[in-house]
């Protein structure tokens, strides 16, 4: 593989295609994303007029043609992920899903952003593996300016060097002529720091939303009122709002954690371009932690003073340089460079888990939208939000509208309500918007306007799932009685039926709990379960029970479970079709085994394979068009 860059570009050549290695931050996002924490963030612009989708499509394509980075798709190599240039084109969509829904999965080969619209709102959702907030904001500005003025020369949006420099890995470039820190030295410093006395970090625990979606609470107020209050406490806006956030968290902290003087630790991202000028549109940021003890003075002034001191101490060029060295050490380590990617992913997941133990919540301050005249007058407000594995808030302003957006994986909105009340106590008038979530106590405690977000049905209808499971269980037991009475010599075993029912319930309930693509999960489960039963039979002294009964039971159970899961899921048929067909094809294995004469009795294998074949043919005939589209999409044909 040649690493020779193209002229006037940082793309490299790979088998006739252009590619880029990922920078450090992107690798962590790809190793640790989930259906709850999707590693997707969203910019929103609220206009004074209803969105014209055709005009927005043209504007998106114009901006897209100039921003090279956004043409990339993610590919997986043996040792690392990498970006590859594609010929795909963006398609503007009407917003129908929950905010920041999953954008990238391991079998996804599409663009790493989406442009959405709803009424008078334009959204840009971006995978954090592609770009940080600063880089995406430039792309978003390009879309908005092109939307407002189709005659605009889009070159004016970007600096002359940015066409090349937007693709640069700023982490590696920064340390190109400097020595990065060794992993061994980092480990020694970590051990020394852990020996220092510290209080336990408080972790917020609550009931997750029914289908894993975020609870979004969007608060809008006047920018001047926020600035005035922050100045009254001799702090910045970031410090002032973080202090109120800490107060709100401690207010709802259980007493047992207060008795231990648990610390509220807030993660705050820092744009490294502030200290090390760069035009890169890729990830170039670090994070710091600021904290405050639950047993300390809880006055807002005391918290602001403490946070101000911590920000001044931690956000310095020297401290940021040190963080860059630590991040680059992972990539430059000879020991890790030749470790296969799946192993690196596992290591990064462990490291991320350990790092999360230090964090209570997060906040992000993106600053202003800043389109410039005459475009600023066409936008009412702007905001940003990010997927959340823990409660967090993000802030952004446009002219005199300041938007604070909370995202949380939990049903409860007690912290958000407390934050709202504290703003009101400061004389700040706040209007609240939010999405609809489902689950126990999902209504929340705040008076929220839900009209600006789509009402998305739960990803899975649990009640329907239980009804289907119960109905099929009754049918199977009744069928056993009818067949044995009508055909005594067939001798259909009740134990066989009960095992199918038990397996069916177990698999469906596991899928509902995981809240992922049901048939994708099931396809993996079938392969694992069948392999384990064969190994169990083999190593316990082969008796053939795995082939005679276990494989047919797993086959029938999995297909019934797949049909139920697809039926009660709100996913599109295309999202589940290929995996359902895969499960049905695996179900033909018992037939092959029976033809080879490896099973006795034969009827369980024949029943299982016949059922699998019928399901395969039914889905193939009924959904032929959808199947062709999915094959083309999945295999990038």
For the ranges 100-114, 115-129, 320-334, 587-601, which has the lowest average pLDDT?
320-334
The pLDDT score that the predictor gives to residue 576 is 72
Domain end marker among 124, 155, 186: 155
Say if 2 falls within a structural domain.
no
The pLDDT score that the predictor gives to residue 488 is 76
Tell which wins on pLDDT, 594 or 161. Answer: 594
For the ranges 34-43, 49-58, 474-483, which has the lowest average pLDDT?
474-483
- Work out the pLDDT band at 164, boundaries 50, 70, 90: low
- What average pLDDT score do residues 341-364 get? 90
Cβ contacts of residue 383 below 8 Å, gap of 6+? Answer: 43, 44, 46, 218, 394, 396, 403, 405
pLDDT at 605 over 50: yes
- What average pLDDT score do residues 586-604 get? 88
The pLDDT score that the predictor gives to residue 253 is 95
The pLDDT score that the predictor gives to residue 383 is 97
424 and 552 together in one domain? no
* CB 36, CB 91: distance < 8 Å: no
Say if 161 falls within a structural domain.
no
Tell which wins on pLDDT, 341 or 202. Answer: 202
CA distance 460 to 500: 22
Give the chain's domain count: 3
Share of the chain above pLDDT 70, in %: 83
285, containing H or E segment: strand 285-293
pLDDT at 315 over 90: yes
396 and 522 together in one domain? no
478 and 416 together in one domain? no
- Work out the pLDDT band at 331, boundaries 50, 70, 90: low
369 and 482 together in one domain? no
Q: Are strands 17-21 and 12-14 parallel, antiparallel or unpaired?
A: antiparallel
| CATH code of 250's domain | 3.30.559.30
The pLDDT score that the predictor gives to residue 130 is 92
522 and 429 together in one domain? no
* Mean pLDDT score across all residues of the chain: 84
The pLDDT score that the predictor gives to residue 192 is 44
**Residue 401 phi, psi (nearest 5):** -110, 120
| CATH code of 32's domain | 3.30.559.10
Say if 454 falls within a structural domain.
no
Domain end marker among 388, 417, 434: 434
Q: Are strands 263-271 and 361-368 parallel, antiparallel or unpaired?
A: parallel
The pLDDT score that the predictor gives to residue 191 is 44
The pLDDT score that the predictor gives to residue 322 is 85
Share of the chain above pLDDT 90, in %: 40
Q: Quickly list DSSP for 220-239.
A: EEEHHHHHHHHHHTT--HHH
- Work out the pLDDT band at 447, boundaries 50, 70, 90: confident
Alpha helices in 199-340 (DSSP H): 223-232, 237-251, 255-259, 300-314, 317-332, 334-337
350 and 469 together in one domain? no
Domain end marker among 434, 454, 489: 434
pLDDT at 388 over 60: yes
- Work out the pLDDT band at 441, boundaries 50, 70, 90: low
128 and 237 together in one domain? no
The pLDDT score that the predictor gives to residue 216 is 95
The pLDDT score that the predictor gives to residue 499 is 73
Say if 448 falls within a structural domain.
no
pLDDT tens by residue, 546-573: 898 888 888 888 888 778 777 766 666 6
For the ranges 90-94, 112-116, 136-140, 439-443, which has the lowest average pLDDT?
439-443
The pLDDT score that the predictor gives to residue 157 is 56
pLDDT tens by residue, 449-462: 889 999 887 766 66
For the ranges 81-95, 164-178, 316-330, which has the lowest average pLDDT?
164-178
pLDDT tens by residue, 41-87: 999 999 999 999 999 999 999 999 888 889 999 888 877 888 888 88
496 and 409 together in one domain? no
237 and 359 together in one domain? yes
Say if 216 falls within a structural domain.
yes
Say if 620 falls within a structural domain.
yes
Q: How far is CA 40 from the centre of its chain?
A: 5
- What average pLDDT score do residues 395-421 get? 95
Say if 404 falls within a structural domain.
yes
384 and 507 together in one domain? no
pLDDT at 507 over 90: no
The pLDDT score that the predictor gives to residue 408 is 95
The pLDDT score that the predictor gives to residue 344 is 84
242 and 140 together in one domain? no
Tell which wins on pLDDT, 310 or 574. Answer: 310
- Work out the pLDDT band at 8, boundaries 50, 70, 90: very low
CA distance 137 to 193: 36
For the ranges 121-130, 187-196, 579-588, 622-631, which has the lowest average pLDDT?
187-196
Q: Quickly list DSSP for 459-508.
A: SB-HHHHHHHHHHHHHHHHHHHHHHHHH-GGG---HHHHHHHHHHHHHHH
pLDDT at 186 over 60: no
pLDDT at 4 over 50: no
pLDDT at 21 over 60: yes
414 and 511 together in one domain? no
| Range among 185-199, 216-230, 534-548 rated most confident | 216-230
The pLDDT score that the predictor gives to residue 96 is 92
Longest dimension (CA), the chain: 89
- What average pLDDT score do residues 235-246 get? 98
- Work out the pLDDT band at 161, boundaries 50, 70, 90: very low
263 token code pair? 């610390």
- Domain hosting 112: range is 10-155
**Residue 3 phi, psi (nearest 5):** -105, 20
Task: Please report, for residues 211, 215, 466, the alpha-carbon distance to residue 46 in angstroms, rounded to integers and kept in the order given.
Answer: 28, 20, 41
Closest-CA residue to 383 (of 371, 399, 396): 396
- What average pLDDT score do residues 332-354 get? 80
Say if 449 falls within a structural domain.
no
């Amino acid at each position: 593989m040649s690493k020779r860059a193209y002229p006037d570009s940082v793309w490299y050549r790979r088998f006739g295609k252009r590619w880029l290695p990922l920078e450090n931050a992107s690798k962590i996002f790809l190793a640790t994303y989930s259906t709850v924490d999707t590693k997707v963030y969203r910019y929103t612009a609220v206009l004074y007029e209803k969105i014209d989708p055709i005009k927005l499509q043209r504007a998106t394509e114009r901006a897209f043609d100039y921003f090279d980075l956004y043409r990339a798709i993610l590919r997986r190599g043996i040792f690392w992920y990498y970006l590859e240039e594609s010929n795909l084109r963006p398609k503007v969509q009407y917003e129908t899903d929950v905010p920041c829904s999953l954008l990238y999965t391991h079998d996804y080969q599409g663009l790493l952003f989406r442009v959405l619209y709803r009424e008078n709102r334009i959204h840009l959702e971006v995978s954090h593996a592609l770009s940080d907030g600063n880089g995406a904001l430039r792309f978003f500005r390009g879309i908005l300016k092109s939307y407002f003025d189709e005659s605009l020369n889009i070159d004016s949006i970007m600096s002359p060097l940015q066409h090349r420099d937007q693709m640069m890995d700023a982490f590696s470039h920064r340390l190109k002529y400097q020595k990065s820190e060794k992993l061994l030295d980092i480990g020694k410093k970590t051990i020394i720091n852990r020996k220092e006395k510290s209080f336990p970090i408080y972790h917020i625990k609550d009931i997750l939303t029914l289908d894993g979606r975020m609870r979004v609470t969007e608060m809008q107020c006047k920018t001047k009122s926020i600035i005035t209050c922050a100045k009254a406490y001799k702090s910045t806006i970031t410090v002032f709002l973080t202090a109120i956030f800490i107060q709100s968290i401690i207010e709802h902290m259980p007493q047992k954690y207060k008795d231990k003087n648990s610390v509220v630790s807030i993660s705050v991202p820092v744009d490294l371009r502030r200290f090390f000028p760069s035009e890169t549109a890729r990830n170039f940021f670090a994070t710091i932690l600021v904290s405050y003890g639950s047993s300390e003075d809880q006055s807002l002034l005391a918290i602001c003073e403490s946070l101000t001191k911590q920000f001044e101490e931690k956000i310095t060029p020297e401290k940021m340089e040190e963080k860059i060295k630590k991040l680059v050490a992972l990539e430059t380590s000879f020991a890790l460079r030749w470790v296969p990617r799946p192993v690196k992913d596992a290591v990064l997941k462990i490291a991320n888990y350990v790092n999360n133990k230090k964090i209570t919540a997060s906040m992000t301050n993106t600053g202003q939208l800043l389109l410039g005249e005459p475009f600023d007058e066409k936008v009412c407000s702007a905001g940003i939000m990010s997927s959340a594995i823990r409660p967090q808030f993000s802030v952004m302003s446009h002219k005199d509208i300041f938007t604070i957006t909370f995202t949380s994986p939990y049903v409860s909105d007690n912290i958000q309500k407390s934050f709202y009340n504290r703003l009101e106590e400061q004389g700040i008038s706040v209007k609240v918007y939010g999405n609809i979530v489902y689950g126990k106590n999902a209504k929340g405690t705040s008076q929220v306007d839900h009209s600006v977000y789509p009402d998305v049905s739960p990803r899975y209808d649990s009640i329907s799932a239980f009804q289907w499971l119960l109905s099929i269980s009754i049918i199977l037991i009744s069928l056993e009685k009818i067949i044995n009475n009508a055909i005594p010599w067939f001798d259909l075993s009740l134990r066989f039926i009960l095992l199918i029912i038990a397996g069916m319930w177990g698999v469906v309930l596991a899928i509902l709990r995981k809240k992922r693509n049901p048939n994708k999960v099931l396809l993996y489960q079938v392969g694992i379960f069948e392999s384990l039963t064969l190994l169990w039979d083999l190593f316990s002294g082969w008796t053939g029970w795995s082939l005679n009964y276990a494989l047919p039971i797993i086959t029938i159970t999995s297909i019934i479970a797949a049909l139920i899961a697809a039926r009660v899921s709100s996913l599109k048929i295309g999202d589940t079709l290929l995996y359902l067909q895969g499960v049905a094809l695996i179900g033909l294995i018992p037939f092959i085994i029976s033809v080879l004469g490896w099973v006795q009795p034969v009827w369980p294998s024949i029943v299982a394979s016949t059922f699998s074949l019928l399901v395969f043919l039914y889905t193939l005939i009924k959904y032929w068009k959808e199947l062709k589209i999915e094959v083309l999409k999945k295999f990038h044909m």
